[in-house]
Every structure is written in structure tokens, then in C-alpha cells.
A = this chain, B = another copy of it.
Amino acid sequence: MTDPLVVFTPSGKRGRVPAGTSVLDAARRLGVDLDSVCGGRGICSKCQVAPGEGAFPKHGVTVAPDALSEFNAVERRYDEKRGLKPGRRLGCQACIQGDVVIDVPPESQVHKQVVRKAASDRAITLDPATRLHFVTVEEPDMDAPSGDLERLRAALKAQWDLDGLSVPLPVLQGLQPALRKGGWEVTVAVNHDTGSIAAIWPGLRTAAPLGLAVDLGSTTIAAHLCDLGTGAVLASGGIMNPQIRFGEDLMSRVSYAMMNANGATEMTAAVRTALGALAAELAAEAGIAPADIVETVIVCNPVMHHLLIGVDPVELGQAPFALATSDALPLEASDLGLDALAPGARAYLLPCIAGHVGADAAAVALSEAPDQADEMTLIVDVGTNAEILLGNRDGLLACSSPTGPAFEGAQISSGQRAAPGAIERVEIDPVTKTPRFRVIGSDIWSDDPAFDAEVTGICGSGIIEAVAEMRLAGLLDAGGLIGSAEQTGTERCIAEGRTHSYLLWEDGDRRILVTQGDVRAIQLAKSALYAGARLLMDEAGVDSVDRVTLAGAFGAHISPKHAMVLGMIPDADLTKVGSAGNAAGHGARMALCDRGLRTRIEGLVRRIQKVETAVAPRFQEHFVAANAIPHATAPFPHLGPLPQVSFNQASGGRRRRRG
């Protein structure tokens, strides 16, 4: 008699197994994704399946009523105690007696698809590194003494075929109480990436372990607390990076480390404390204990990376910008001072691409996957340092460009961080030259009589829009000069010494101006950004790009049109210029939920061609040519014509021509 045929759906995997084989065993033999925490004891219910009935012509199978064994005592008890949905069986109890079609519902699959709620709707496949394994451990025997750990190891080997797992000391310290509290039954969280035990809980624990995806930025630290069983985000949040008190931007922090004996150590302690506090905050919000967090994935720029792991970032402040380490780092969370997480929790830091292009850029590459696109894609993560990726499935290039902090509102006369009260959107009427604006925290434009928001300054996206609008309204010429009241026909252009400023807002004594200095600061920043992108285009041998993606929290607020008027980015079809939101944070979450992606990004980072802007002679040329708004030479056909004005006072105006 031939063995019964079993067909699993939705995978379609099929094969014959000896009569009497449990559905769980059959699934394992055939490589079907069927979950189990208790290892087949009929108590965790993770292996629930829905057996088919009747004819399945598609599979060539007709399922007889007795294709599976009858409900046994274990299933009946489970059904009485916790209830089985109609038609469901416990895969570890139901035995195959005849040809059968068995559906594995999504909640019983380990590798679920998690759809991202975002424009790109890229899905994450759930394949977490950490899995739960329930084991029954032999009790100690005085006549054959052995350690509790050694008996736990024997149980993991016998019941799960898990061997040679490493056990961090903090896990060992909690082993004896857990075994006794659980009556010699415990649930072990095993990190299959590192082959280590993350946590041991008394008894059966079916709640999925949790993970923390962290985007550690120079200014803010953002994190998602994720359920590794469903991929769901249980809580998200961010806090300020407390290192700001040591320096606003990266280079000032590197300087702090160079000038102060314990500078790097202080900054390391500060960021670790903040990260721990954020983890605790999110755990509290989700109503779980921080010790339920079994792993964390962290992305950050190289300076943050080194300060987090306790490496002095001094080498990153000077050529040749050597990283202490570029590869992905598998660490213990406690190495980073995250002692409140699970006792054996692991921390995975994505690889850095180069001395100025960090693990955050690697995470952006993972999230946006330009290496899987046909279109020549430019991805710009705008911050103090812009990290720039360019390429498609034929290859990927990366560089970093020192834009400075102007895009974040720093070095701007009325500049401020993006916070309530900051002007974030600006429009200037090209005829009347009168501005209107919106501030963060209010949806009402400033020319609406209902507008009553407090105005405190102008943030990064606000200054970009203001300067671009000034150019569109003919208040600013291609060289970046603000015209006089006379030249522009508006009293809002106010002389300040030998230059002019544009009055955006005033209220009594308080005024918000866009000064000539502000325009110069924006010009420097945008030239650096454009020059970096252009350098990569040279390397790639292309003159235009098909798609531009602005990543980063700031990128989400930049108006594509205004960015292009400024010449921040190369000319492109405006419908193909968009924001990816916090792509770095999303990449961290992806690497947290799917351990296969860790291998993928490690391989991709090795293949990315790195371009160092600091030593590329053409970078300087591109930088100079990009100083004009939008550009001295490059055509911007997608923009259409801009006002042809020139306010160069050296060729007229107040300053006399010599000779």
C-alpha cells in the first residue's frame, strides 16, 4: 500500500508520509512553514491547521472523512480549555491516515507577509532571528549530578535538535529560578542568527518575543517596538539625542571628542542612557516589560555608530575618514548598556558603507531597494551630512556630502528646529511680492483672518521654500542676490548694509527676515548636495536620473518643486520626485523582522561603489557650478523658465565702476 499523499496549501508543497505521521511532522519533512513553540505537546496551539474535505481536483486529491485521525484527548482538552475554531486541528496531534489537503492559516505560519502602510507598499516577510522553544528539562539527580544548564542543553538537543547555543552570563544567572518556577518546563528564546539564548521564561510562553528597531540620528533617536510574531508595531516614538549638548552637528561632536579627554566617553554614556530610556518608554506605552525585548536592530551614521559602541570618532573627522569597523556588528545589547532588555538580548548594527556613509544609508538602501529597480534612482537622505545613493539593478554608488546644518534651520538668521511656531511653508505672490506662510502646529495660512498661531522662526523646509519662492517671484537672481526695494518694486526688500533682506513677517519689534547671509548658507548647502549627486552621476555615466527619492524625516517635508527650483537635486520629472519618509528607520525594522535581509544588506554594502567627495577634483567644479539658483550651466527643463533678473550691484547700483 502506498503511503498517504499530503498537500499543504497555500505553499502547494506535497509528498507522501507514512500513515500515522502527525501533520506537524509531515510539514517539517516537506519543508512547510508551520509554527510550533511547544514542540508538539499540544499546548501552544501555534500549529493549528485547517484540513480540507472532499475533492480537490486541482491537487488531484479526494479527502476521505477519515483522512486524519479523530480528535484525541489532547485536542479535546485544548478545545474545552481554550477553544479551537471550527474546522481547525492541532497539527501536532492530528495524524495523517489517508490522502489529505491541509491549509496552513496565516497565523500558523512563521514567515508571514507584513504589508507596510506606506506609498511604496513594500512588504516585509517575517522571519525573525529569535524564536521560542518550549522544553521539559530533567530534574537534578544527586546520584548523577549535573548542572541545570547542562540538562537544559540536553533538552534543547533532544526536543529541538538545537546544539551548541551560547548562554550569556545574565541568562545563566536567571536559569535556576526559571526552571523551578516553571516546574522544569521553560520557554527558551533562541537567537538563531547568533546561536545564543536571549531569555528563558518559566513554563509555556506563547506571546511572541519583541524587538526594537532604532534609527539613531544626530538630532533625534527614533524607535519602533515590534511584535516579532506578527511584525506589528506596538509602539513608536522618539527622543532628542542628548549628545546635542556636546555639539549641534556631527563635526562639532567629533571636535568635542578631540578637545576633551573624556569627551567621547561622555557622549557614549549619554546616547546609551537615552536609548535605554527610549526603550523603557516604548515598553511602558505598549504595556510590556523591557525584558520582553529580545533583540534590537540599530542604524545610524558613522559618528553615532562609533560613539554608540564606544569608539572615539576622531578618525572620522579627518582624511582618510577611516572607520574602526565597517562590517555589520552582532553585539550583546548589554555591550551597549541596554541592561533592561532580555538578559541575553542581542543588538545588530547594520554595516557602514564608508567613513561618511553610515549604517543609516545602508538601511535606506535596504528599504528603498534601488538595487532592485530598473529606473536610475537617486536617493538623498538630507541632514547635516547628506548621504546620497545612485543606481539601479546594474549597480549602486554612494557618497556623502557636507551640506552643513542650514537645511535644518541652523546658521539661518531666524532659523530654528522644526517645532511648533516654525514657518514651514511659504508662498510669495509673484505680482504683489507679498508672502503668506504656514507654521508648524497650524493648518491655517497666515493670510487667513483666522490665523492666530504664534510665529517663532523658520525651519529647514521653510527656508528652502522661502528662498525658492523668492527666486520664482523675481526677488532673487540666479546668482543668489536679493534685489533692492527699487529693483524689485517691494518695500519688503530692506537694505542691511551693502546687501538686502526680504521681510517675511513682522509683529511689533519682532521680524523674520530672509537675509543675504541666509541665502548664501542655503546656496552652500544645496551646492554640496547637488555636487555630490552630480559626482555619482558622472561615475555612473548618466546625465539625468529617472527618479529622486528624498529620505529622512526632513525629506518628508521638502516640497519637490521648491527643492528643484533651488537646484538641490538634479532636474527630473516632478511626478517622480517623492519622499520615502523615515526610510532608515523602516530599513531597521525590516532587518529586525527578517533576518535574511541582514545577509542581503551585508552583501549589498560590499558591492556598493563608494565615492569620496572630499578627494574628487570634480566635486569642487560641480560645487562651484551649482552655486547658482538653480544652476549655472545644467538645464532644468522640467522647471520651465524662471524670472530673468540680475541684481549684481557691481555692474551698476551703488558701487562705481573703476577705470
Contacts and interface: CB of A to CB of B under 8 A. Distances in A.
Interface stretch (A317-325, A442-450, A620-628): A317-325
Contact of A147 (B140, B172, B323): B323
B320 A142 contact: yes
A140 B322 contact: yes
A312 interface: yes
A612 B176 CA distance: 20
B320 A140 contact: yes
A614 interface: yes
B145 A354 contact: yes
Nearest to A326: B147
B326 A145 contact: yes
Nearest to A336: B169
A170 B312 CA distance: 12
A209 B309 CA distance: 27
Interface in A173-196: 173, 175-177
A352 B170 CA distance: 19
A147 B612 contact: no
Contacts of A172: 309, 311, 324-325
Contact of A144 (B143, B149, B610): B610
Nearest to A352: B147
A319 B142 contact: yes
A310 interface: yes
A339 interface: no
B143 A322 contact: no
A266 interface: no
B322 A176 contact: yes
A147 B311 CA distance: 12
B142 A176 contact: no
Taking residues whose C-beta sits less than 8 angstroms from the other chain, chain A's interface range is 35 or more
A148 interface: yes
A148 B612 contact: no
A114 to B, nearest CB: 32
Contacts of A146: 323, 326
Contacts of A149: 324-327
A321 B145 contact: yes
A173 B143 CA distance: 48
Interface string A336-369: 0000000000000000111100000000000000
Nearest to A335: B169
Interface in A135-167: 139-150
A615 interface: yes
A103 interface: no
Contacts of A148: 315, 322-325
Contacts of A610: 143-145
A198 to B, nearest CB: 17
A173 B146 CA distance: 38
Contacts of A315: 148, 176
Given A142-B615, A145-B322, 12 more contacts: A142-B319, A145-B320, A145-B323, A145-B353, A146-B323, A147-B327, A169-B310, A169-B331, A172-B324, A173-B311, A173-B324, A175-B325
27 contacts: A139-B320, A140-B322, A141-B320, A142-B319, A142-B355, A142-B612, A144-B610, A145-B322, A145-B323, A146-B323, A147-B322, A147-B325, A147-B326, A147-B327, A148-B322, A148-B323, A149-B327, A150-B325, A169-B309, A172-B324, A173-B310, A173-B311, A173-B312, A176-B311, A176-B315, A176-B322, A176-B324
The 3 closest A-B pairs by CB, nearest first: A147-B326, A140-B322, A145-B354
